[in-house]
Chains A and B, each alone.
Chain A
């Protein structure tokens, strides 16, 4: 069988061919299973990613990017024409942060009082203060954060990673998104778009659901609620018996064999996967570390702890979502305080726990909103959207620990030093995973597509 035919037979389409780096044995593996692990382009620094998404857009000048000038010039007008923001009204005045910043750790990196627990982990974090996106509204900004394009439907970051690397644990999906948002593009933010469907993210519930309602059946169809294991195995044997007889009469058709194997894989998946979701099996101390004992931190704590368990079980790409909270056009003080309280302890717990278990070195943790917020006020107590220069941070997985990268101008509106466009963020994440962003391509509609479109620069300076 030709290589091309083999790929087609596996149902992966001929786009697979354009994965130029694919080795012969990888091709064979892909015939059997599109999710089989594949070698990266070069030595990776991270094996997996946990992406903590703060939906709504946390304010950088109130969290990780303190601005003295805002203290000094509080109430003064913006010294230049306000760039496009979400709300059409007149630009407000410069507004100082209502929170105090404290330097922490050996690195002395300042973090505001919104994140007292995360602040304890700064020596493991790489704070990127110069991220730039293109979307001024949530929809465009989410889409670009997750897919690289603010406009078109493109495969999501997790799908690209899964397509490039496959996954090492066949008993779990390779790309899992916990409680993802249904809004601002919804599933497009974890979809495989034109990549084969095998690479789409598996959603664990959605942002509208409560953790306790998700735990019953975290993955759709994963559990059989009616049959014992024996009963189901017996039934499955009948099914496979029919399938084998069917296939014997239809030779040279690998797709039939492939489907027969998926039933065995599914059977082992439903036996193994549920245990991974049993967060309640963790020790009391661990549950406390993530704040599972406190109603305020319970939900995001559950997400973070589940993320660690998934990471431990070699799930390639994991997303947690705090949705849809951070969009403070008003009530900044009240709501940012509440939001940070919900995630601060869980995130710090995750970082400490990963580190204690030796997982942080090859797990890349990313914390990001879809944009930051303006240093000028909106109304009396709000901030508008600001994609022109905002802060995200990463930890573990080969980024420089205790390090500040890039800078915004003196009021925190535009990134001015080491500007890092979202394409660059993506290129850098792929590089940490051992993938060269301009080689990870897929042929669709007559063009080779990639996560970084025609752009993307790996920011080596922030890497170990």
Chain B
């Protein structure tokens, strides 16, 4: 950079001198560039990046990062050079001539014609809060929830719940009729899938069908709400919103080893009917809330997984970008999940449609910028994620102390070997030239390696390693060029040269290691972790590192080698090559064990015994969570155009100004998460309760009252029943934010219990069923399909909680370990199957699961041929059908009709009709007649497969 700029300056100083005057040079060469390429954004009005390049004063003032001048180090020249992180102008590098002129101009002090000598430096003033228009302020979603009395209706007999009045009023206004009540079979299947994600059992169906009491359905609803299966279903709904997954997704897809604790927390929150406002508080700031027993708030810490489990790019090398992408993701999930506003759209510019400014965006970003999401976000490479212990500090410190002791003991063990290895390197190094010359005799002169070794009194294994190392030549290894160019006459001299240099490096290395040993012993004595063993930069000392580590002088840990997995290749030729390679390696291996003396061996025995003893006495590993924690306070600036290289005015922590009618939080000393949580959970927050009751409505009815559940803004839809939405929100808050109570209010209505039959009138007048003249039929979601199949043949495993994902970090590129576990090989409920975000299970993709990356309040349902292939050909379905048929056939107490009833009850939640029985048995008979050799069981299996593939199985009326 410097060199280039200087040359350029010299070149154009001449042209500058030749110009008639500095003024003319400016007007002809500089101003046109500034006007056409810079001032579009950097003018007095926009001041993009806090920079005004339209006047001499503005230019002299520079930007928030300081002056633009400074000779060859000028920020202006850096930025326009395109060799700096920030590149301007953004539409393309300036032509070489312009660059030269600007450099020449800066070099002489950037004179502006007629500018006064001493320019005052203006101070950036904080801009006034944005004024929103009356229309924006009066937008429906930002108004307080209104207290509304359910309306009067003509057909009062239809009303079972106040909910029905709101629905019926709109239908009556359009002269439409609500559908008849659903059949009891349809209703229990609907409610059971709805609340638990599973079909009802045969007993549950029979018991409901025979219960004539007025409260029969209420009994069913209460039973389902009390089932642990309820939390697994509704927790999963929330996990869609929380974009839950068990790994980071981006770049290397590192596991979140404790994500499952958050998932279990969510399931438990629904099962225990945790008030929703508390659910909100815990997910944003649970770590800052007191625990119920005064100890560590485990639950609260785990709950903040909501913020910590998003997609992250741990290997992103621009660490500042990595951090701000995470904060952005946290702003996005928080604003959409709880508030239904798309605040993240205001990262680079004010929101195009809603009254949300970039300042609003950065005001919330400040909260997350002051929150810790990484254990360390500074060092290059892969940034380690934050893991939080779920125990108190002293317990954690004790366990860490033990860890250090164990590490120190392990180091002592390693040292026994390493000292001998170091000694050996010195010994071998003294004859390095002999080794090289001897190797040359083998690979150049073609002499047998054993004979050369014997004659020169060299270890044949080491000599083989030398041959292996030198034989490959210098291609791509410039440090071996001198050796490769040597001939028989010069070889000895060149080798001696290599030896001298090697011994120099070795001495330096030994010194470094000795210093490290000293330091490590001291730090361990002081109960601290020893520093890592110093490494040699392979790029600086390629020959030394090659020879010493991994190359000719390397030794092997025999115990490790024994554990090497022997691969067997199907291809004979490849297998032969593999074995040949392994044989060669054995011939070259020097086990490190043979360097030990008897005293060493004794010492190792003692040390290993001590290590074992210590391990036995160590406290259990503390339980951990993937959570966030309080971080250092960050004074957040607005980033102009979303670019952290262009900080603008300060954006003090705040919530979006359009939502502050009922008050805005006073942010104190911490990150601000607690204040944000309290404000979000307030009863008078216009959005929190509305957005959540709308979600619940949608999960019951397929469509929400607002059909864009994650976006209540201008580009979202308007509510079909705004009064009902407000009434439900108010009821919800009044009943202590109880989600289970909300389910009862909704499900014990006539609206919920309507048939899904569509009349011609309804299909004409209201094809989208916005007025809810009937229940909307829906396809099962993938969890319901898979769990329903496993329930049908009775192989489902209802064990709750815990993790099926093992291990930490990530796996090798393209290894199987990068895949999610295959749900078709497991029998736990789908909600418990870990989600590797980068490679979600294909079954989940096939049935519209979504991508677990952003808030997904509504799954888009598609109907495509590969789904039919799953029903027709997957082993998973074949196995379910086999079990289903076997169960029916093995039941000796049943006749064929009874068998069919049991199969229908298990799959379609109803007995078979007479016609269906007739059809089925005819099919089974024909199947056996048509396909000779097929057993009775195979015929029944075929029928069961057809049933499992049927629309009736996969749709809920």
Interface residues of A (CB under 8 A from B): 1-2, 4-5, 8, 10-13, 15, 34-35, 79-81, 83-89, 92, 98, 136-140, 143, 151-153, 170, 173, 181-188, 191, 193-194, 196-198, 200, 202-203, 206-208, 219-226, 228, 230-232, 234-236, 238-239, 241-243, 246-247, 250-253, 255-256, 258-260, 262-263, 265-267, 269-270, 295, 323-324, 330-334, 377-382, 414, 416, 419, 443, 445-447
Contact = CB atoms under 8 A, between A and B. Distances in A.
Given A5-B767, A258-B863, A226 B878 contact: yes
B476 A333 contact: yes
A173 to B, nearest CB: 8
A81 B82 CA distance: 11
Given A137-B315, A170-B865, A230-B931, 7 more contacts: A83-B85, A196-B848, A206-B819, A207-B813, A253-B777, A260-B951, A446-B345
Interface stretch (B193-201, B417-425, B706-714): B706-714
Q: Which of B4, B342, B854 is most buried by chain A, counting CB atoms within 10 A of its CB?
A: B854
B313 A140 contact: yes
Interface in B310-326: 311, 313, 315-318, 321, 325
Contacts of B714: 446
Given A188-B838, A323-B813, A200 B946 contact: no
Contacts of A332: 476
B476 A262 contact: no
Q: Which of B714, B853, B868, B923 is most buried by chain A, counting CB atoms within 10 A of its CB?
A: B868
Nearest to A181: B814
Nearest to B311: A153
B251 A221 contact: no
Given A258-B863, A416-B93, A380 B542 contact: yes
B942 to A, nearest CB: 5
Contacts of B317: 84-86, 136-137
A439 to B, nearest CB: 18
Nearest to A446: B715
B814 A324 contact: yes
Q: Which of A219, A226, A443 is most buried by chain B, counting CB atoms within 10 A of its CB?
A: A226
B93 A11 contact: no
B32 interface: no
Main secondary structure on chain A at its contact with chain B?
loop
B489 to A, nearest CB: 27
A250 B848 contact: no
Given A256-B955, A266-B869, A414 B83 contact: yes
Interface string B767-788: 1100000000101000000000
Given A81-B83, A234-B930, A221 B863 contact: no
B539 A89 contact: yes
Interface stretch (B552-560, B655-663, B756-764): B756-764
B818 interface: yes
Contact of B251 (A140, A262, A267): A140
B155 interface: no
Contact of A251 (B758, B842, B862, B949): B758
B757 A250 contact: yes
A187 B767 CA distance: 36
A224 B868 contact: no
Given A197-B846, A208-B815, A241 B716 contact: no
B951 A259 contact: yes
A443 B353 CA distance: 14
Nearest to A186: B838
A381 B478 contact: yes
Contacts of B957: 250
Given A35-B864, A323-B813, A98 B253 contact: no
Interface residues of B, number: 113
B768 A183 contact: no
B508 interface: no
Contact of B318 (A12, A84, A235, A295): A84
Q: Which of A98, A138, A219, A220 is most buried by chain B, counting CB atoms within 10 A of its CB?
A: A220
Contacts of A260: 951
A266 B470 CA distance: 59
B869 A2 contact: no
B249 A185 contact: yes
B768 A8 contact: yes
B3 interface: yes
Ordered nearest first, which 4 A-B pairs have the shortest CB separation? A139-B251, A333-B476, A379-B539, A186-B838
Contacts of A83: 83-85
A447 B342 contact: yes
B843 to A, nearest CB: 9
B768 A4 contact: yes
B476 A255 contact: no
Contact of A1 (B767, B814, B946): B767
A454 B758 CA distance: 43
Contacts of B943: 238
Contacts of A136: 316-318
26 contacts: A80-B81, A83-B85, A88-B381, A136-B318, A137-B316, A137-B317, A181-B814, A183-B252, A184-B813, A188-B853, A194-B851, A197-B847, A198-B864, A228-B931, A230-B930, A236-B872, A253-B758, A262-B867, A263-B868, A266-B866, A267-B868, A295-B574, A377-B539, A379-B539, A381-B476, A445-B855
Contact of B477 (A35, A202, A324, A381): A381
A252 B839 contact: no
Contacts of A239: 945-946, 949-950
A242 B538 contact: no
Nearest to B922: A238
B758 A221 contact: no
Contacts of B946: 235-236, 238-239, 242
B845 interface: yes
Contacts of A86: 317
A15 B860 CA distance: 10
B251 A137 contact: yes
Nearest to B348: A454
A221 B249 contact: no
B59 to A, nearest CB: 24
B848 A379 contact: no
Nearest to A3: B767
B487 interface: no
Contacts of B537: 89
B92 interface: yes
Interface in B918-957: 919, 923, 926-927, 930-931, 942-943, 945-947, 949-952, 954-955, 957
Contacts of B814: 181-183, 206-208, 323-324
A78 B868 CA distance: 59
A380 to B, nearest CB: 4
B874 interface: yes
B522 interface: no
Nearest to A8: B768
B28 interface: no
Interface in B557-608: 574
Nearest to A331: B476
A80 B768 contact: no
B539 A446 contact: no
A197 B951 contact: no
B777 A250 contact: yes
B851 A193 contact: yes
A92 B583 CA distance: 38
A321 B919 CA distance: 50
Interface string B13-28: 0000000000000000
Q: Which of A35, A98, A259 is most buried by chain B, counting CB atoms within 10 A of its CB?
A: A259
Contacts of B880: none
A265 B952 contact: no
A183 B848 CA distance: 22
Given A81-B83, A139-B316, A221-B870, A188 B249 contact: yes
Nearest to B96: A416
Contact of A198 (B345, B574, B862, B870): B862
B380 interface: yes
Contacts of A223: 873
A188 B873 contact: no
